[in-house]
Chain A
């Protein structure tokens, strides 16, 4: 029995005093957390707060160092996630575990395929999954290959995997991270249905608005400890954020502008670019960005914004249109030449694009400029050292050592290294893609401050982000991408969810 529980309410999953250590780091520190039938219990916290670790323990992927798991009132151990699944727990991970080449039916029934004597009855599999999909009103073709599905549809396949095993306890890890507002709303409908079916739902989220809309209870984790657990009626965004960070932070506050934008610095006309597989990604994009202005580029992931940013920086060739910087046409210039003209780029995939992990800090501080700043045939290590020292001075890199390979730094420190390298005074035109993705609130606030600083120094900034709140907080103007086209230009004050949702899904356009 869990203390304070009304008698008889034994159905549910609970963590009682769970502790998990990784070496010296205490990732989860004597946490109590429980979920009952017919409720949605949200678990929120910054990156590294311990949410994923706690869920991994509850799902049998990790063994706790202390405490116990209580299932339906009885203490249990899960030796593996197979145990947890057998016990009726299902989890939908943030990064889907789907086999692209297999069909929906094959993915949902993997490991439990119908058939006799070792052979698979494909027809039975297909119809079984089709009827399950229909029951939850998922518009899925059970014989379609997963690789042909949208992100929202893929998530539905993941949900089907969980529902096919009739999991009574469902864990959803950041489910709306890659969904459009419309797809997110569809998901909410499903989550409410699961709750109404009497299942227990754990929702790991960091979008406070969603938590407030969907959850019945919310628990906040910070540095592995519970800092608050309350029914939703007693919670609001600011108090939750404060519990997450330990101080009052309103990340979404807009700051008053201190400067006025100058002349047009970056000008794009009729830009067309293709994806790696040749399909068109950007169609006829046009925008003027002024010096001292932040343009927010909004849109559901995969609608061409990334290719747009890459084309601006010179990582992707342009099939039509033009780009000019300070009046000079740079459309056919290489990335190195654009860097020389003052363009900088913070890539989406930090670890794989922004750094060479095997190179040391000094060599990484020169990445992109190695040829331009060379001394004869040699790399300018002295300059690299100066840069690395300067980045450390400005951002305080944890464990800074000039000859340490980048691989040895933590993810957050690696991000700071890249941002420090790119957001310098030399940056005249800065292009960022999802700069605070996966970064905790404290560091995100620093990055926001730096972005505003770059703008105030007179640079033009193109900010691609999949976080609408971030876009609204930082942008001076917002453009929205939908299916490769700019479907609209919106001022941040007018960028409410409905307007943005319509523009992002292409249901409306004002471009």
Chain B
């Protein structure tokens, strides 16, 4: 417990520094930081609706953040959560609209479809990195644009469900995720995400596959010596990472929108990096940081409405958090990736 608190010290300090700096920015534009903070709090926690919505944001960020964290532990920087989310959401929407089974089967199948879509999208980048040494930083970013444009094309044409709008057909009633709290958007996705986080925590620390993934991320040559096929691990890690992001999209479709359209991704891609870093790339830590950023994002809307501070300030806070976390002051290089692989690694 004491150990956990000590490890949380770094991230908390980084957070405080980021908030302090953001307050200065607000002051420079004649906004009142305290008023903004109050509005933020009010929006995030002030009502039952507010708390539920905060948890809704938390859920999506938790899935995507777990994905980025897993990739980090394997020494990879997955910037492609946006695209993987879209790929997963699209697959889920199609599955949900096409299948008409009992909810007991339909929901898991649709979720699996979403995970599979994200896994493939992430796996492509993993394959390019393992086979050709192509930097996953660049390929995942490019794949984001491809996913956005591709899905936009598909829902305007071949996969269009309704003639009036560029989106897929609505999913069948049995695919809808059961709500957790009436009159809110909170669904069963949250407990699924929490359970997944706990499972991943065990998997990473105790399983052989987790051991090998961490070895590749931390000391690739030693991992090779230990008989680990680094290329295979890299592809698997990116696929797993993409699958988690795909689940974020899947739960978005099944729980909230009930269909897929071009406006699906609310910009979680970059935020999930902040979530993973602030959580120390550890699944349990990610739960807490996802909650923090979920509150931040939900509260930001209230902050804009009530205090007149543009919600994009949240991005500024995110960027600063990542910046401070990367510095030696706070993290002792724990978030340091092995090295940027912009050229092929030695085989």
Kindly identify which residue among B206, B214, B225 contacts A353, using a CB–CB cutoff of 8 Å: B225
A209 CB to closest chain B CB, in angstroms?
34
A356 contacts B219, CB within 8 Å? yes
Residues of A within 8 A of B218 (CB): 356-359
Compute how far the CA of A276 lies from the CA of B224 in the bound complex, rounded to whole angstroms.
Answer: 14
Whether A335 is near chain B, meaning CB under 8 Å from some CB there, is yes
Compute how far the CA of A367 lies from the CA of B225 in the bound complex, rounded to whole angstroms.
Answer: 8
What are 12 inter-chain pairs, A to B, with CB distance below 8 A?
A315-B224, A349-B221, A352-B221, A354-B222, A358-B218, A367-B225, A367-B226, A370-B226, A371-B227, A374-B208, A377-B208, A377-B209
Q: In which size bucket is the chain B interface?
A: 10 to 19
B231 CB to closest chain A CB, in angstroms?
14
Find the B residue at minimum CB distance from A371: B208
B282 CB to closest chain A CB, in angstroms?
13
Find the B residue at minimum CB distance from A334: B227
B65 CB to closest chain A CB, in angstroms?
21
Compute how far the CA of A414 lies from the CA of B224 in the bound complex, rounded to whole angstroms.
Answer: 18
Whether B215 is near chain A, meaning CB under 8 Å from some CB there, is yes
Pairs A-B, 9 closest by C-beta atoms: A336-B227, A356-B219, A358-B218, A335-B227, A368-B226, A374-B208, A367-B226, A356-B222, A378-B206
A315 contacts B215, CB within 8 Å? no
Give chain B's interface residues, CB within 8 Å of chain A: 206-209, 211-212, 214-215, 218-219, 221-227, 346-347
Compute how far the CA of A379 lies from the CA of B213 in the bound complex, rounded to whole angstroms.
Answer: 13
Residues of A within 8 A of B224 (CB): 315, 353
Contact with B along A189-202 (1 / 0, CB 8 A): 00000000000000
Compute how far the CA of A352 lies from the CA of B227 in the bound complex, rounded to whole angstroms.
Answer: 14
Q: In which size bucket is the chain A interface?
A: 20 to 34
Whether A29 is near chain B, meaning CB under 8 Å from some CB there, is no
Q: Which of A340-379 contact B (CB under 8 A)?
A: 345, 347, 349, 352-359, 363, 367-368, 370-371, 374, 377-379
Whether A339 is near chain B, meaning CB under 8 Å from some CB there, is yes
Find the A residue at minimum CB distance from B220: A352
B146 CB to closest chain A CB, in angstroms?
33
A363 contacts B211, CB within 8 Å? yes
Known: A276-B347, A357-B219. A345 touches B225 (CB 8 A): yes
Q: Which of A315, A353, A374 has the most CB of B within 10 A?
A: A353
Kindly identify which residue among B207, B215, B226 contacts A377, using a CB–CB cutoff of 8 Å: B207
Residues of A within 8 A of B215 (CB): 356, 359, 367
Compute how far the CA of A336 lies from the CA of B228 in the bound complex, rounded to whole angstroms.
Answer: 9
Q: Which of B223, B224, B225 has the most CB of A within 10 A?
A: B225
A455 CB to closest chain B CB, in angstroms?
23
Compute how far the CA of A146 lies from the CA of B219 in the bound complex, rounded to whole angstroms.
Answer: 29
Kindly identify which residue among B206, B208, B212, B214 contacts A358, using a CB–CB cutoff of 8 Å: B214
Kindly identify which residue among A334, A353, A359, A370 contacts B221, using a CB–CB cutoff of 8 Å: A353
Compute how far the CA of A379 lies from the CA of B202 in the bound complex, rounded to whole angstroms.
Answer: 11
A409 CB to closest chain B CB, in angstroms?
15
Contact with B along A319-342 (1 / 0, CB 8 A): 000000000000000111001000
B133 CB to closest chain A CB, in angstroms?
13
Known: A356-B218, A357-B219. A370 touches B225 (CB 8 A): no
Residues of A within 8 A of B227 (CB): 314, 334-336, 339, 368, 371
Q: Which of B207, B219, B224 has the most CB of A within 10 A?
A: B219
Residues of A within 8 A of B226 (CB): 356, 367-368, 370
Find the B residue at minimum CB distance from A317: B347
Compute how far the CA of A349 lies from the CA of B222 in the bound complex, rounded to whole angstroms.
Answer: 9
Find the B residue at minimum CB distance from A373: B208
Known: A370-B226, A377-B207. 9 other contacts (CB 8 A): A315-B224, A352-B219, A352-B222, A355-B219, A356-B226, A358-B214, A368-B225, A370-B211, A371-B212
A111 CB to closest chain B CB, in angstroms?
27
Find the A residue at minimum CB distance from B209: A377
Compute how far the CA of A49 lies from the CA of B3 in the bound complex, rounded to whole angstroms.
Answer: 37
Residues of B within 8 A of A356 (CB): 214-215, 218-219, 222-223, 226
Contact with B along A483-511 (1 / 0, CB 8 A): 00000000000000000000000000000
Known: A355-B219, A363-B211, A378-B206. A315 touches B225 (CB 8 A): yes
Compute how far the CA of A349 lies from the CA of B226 in the bound complex, rounded to whole angstroms.
Answer: 14
B220 CB to closest chain A CB, in angstroms?
9
Residues of B within 8 A of A335 (CB): 225, 227
Find the A residue at minimum CB distance from B227: A336
Compute how far the CA of A35 lies from the CA of B38 in the bound complex, rounded to whole angstroms.
Answer: 73
B206 contacts A354, CB within 8 Å? no
Compute how far the CA of A149 lies from the CA of B214 in the bound complex, rounded to whole angstroms.
Answer: 37
A370 contacts B214, CB within 8 Å? no
Compute how far the CA of A367 lies from the CA of B227 in the bound complex, rounded to whole angstroms.
Answer: 9
B207 contacts A359, CB within 8 Å? no
Compute how far the CA of A368 lies from the CA of B224 in the bound complex, rounded to whole angstroms.
Answer: 9
Residues of A within 8 A of B221 (CB): 349, 352-353
Residues of A within 8 A of B347 (CB): 276
B154 CB to closest chain A CB, in angstroms?
38
Compute how far the CA of A370 lies from the CA of B206 in the bound complex, rounded to whole angstroms.
Answer: 11
A276 contacts B346, CB within 8 Å? yes
Compute how far the CA of A277 lies from the CA of B221 in the bound complex, rounded to whole angstroms.
Answer: 17
B73 CB to closest chain A CB, in angstroms?
10
Compute how far the CA of A78 lies from the CA of B215 in the bound complex, rounded to whole angstroms.
Answer: 43
Residues of B within 8 A of A363 (CB): 211
A258 CB to closest chain B CB, in angstroms?
32
Residues of B within 8 A of A357 (CB): 218-219
Compute how far the CA of A353 lies from the CA of B346 in the bound complex, rounded to whole angstroms.
Answer: 14
B206 contacts A367, CB within 8 Å? no
Residues of A within 8 A of B225 (CB): 315, 335, 345, 347, 353-354, 367-368
Find the B residue at minimum CB distance from A358: B218
Compute how far the CA of A356 lies from the CA of B207 in the bound complex, rounded to whole angstroms.
Answer: 16
A142 CB to closest chain B CB, in angstroms?
29
Compute how far the CA of A7 lies from the CA of B145 in the bound complex, rounded to whole angstroms.
Answer: 80
Residues of A within 8 A of B206 (CB): 378-379, 381
